[in-house]
Amino acid sequence: MKKVRNNKLILKVAAAALLLAAWVSAPLFTNNVKADGTPVIVTRTAVLAPPVGVNPHGSAQWQLYQSGNRELEAEIEDVNLGQGTVLDVFIDGNAAGQMIVDSNRRGRLRLRSEHGDTVPTVNDGSTAEIRNSAVVLVSGVFGSGGTPSPTVTVTGTPSPSQTSTPSPSQTVR
């Protein structure tokens, strides 16, 4: 009888631990956790299209975090190449990394400086290409990011300041 109670207690504790683990990991599955826990201050994206036709296609995204960490993610879909084909990712003509075509005809590269990866700096107007050897499969231009600025610019002219003088009915002490 005592063994049955102990087993029930163990099951209850295990169920509570499992629920707690699921609750804690939920943000990971909903993409609410940022790479290093600090806010993203710049995001630049590029739509990657083939030189001719509709497919393959993809996207690239570069992020700069308040901590200084950077992240680059490049994806390609509907690739008419065999599973296991290695594709090269280039940023501004420089090799950034490689991806492998999976069974769904997709490839993905994700680099994070916080994990020790070398992540290139991406500016508005930087180019992204995914190549199979020397053949460009898709390419695009990064934009929409702006440049973080530590200064505040104020425009306009100041209005004259107003001062008040006590009215005769006010008592000044």
Q: Is the pLDDT of residue 85 over 90?
A: yes
Query: With a threshold of 0.75, does the pTM exceed it?
Result: no
Do 65 and 36 meet the contact criterion of CB atoms below 8 Å apart?
Answer: yes
Domain ranges of the chain: 1-33, 40-141
Q: Taking residues 134-162, report their average pLDDT.
A: 61
Predicted pLDDT at 15: 61
C-alpha separations of 6 from 1, 14, 15, 17, 155 in Å: 9, 12, 14, 16, 72
Predicted pLDDT at 160: 44
The fourth-level CATH superfamily of domain 40-141 is Superoxide dismutase, copper/zinc binding domain (2.60.40.200)
More confident residue, 35 or 151: 35
Predicted pLDDT at 91: 98
Tens digit of pLDDT for each residue in 11-39?
Answer: 666 666 655 555 545 444 444 345 578 89
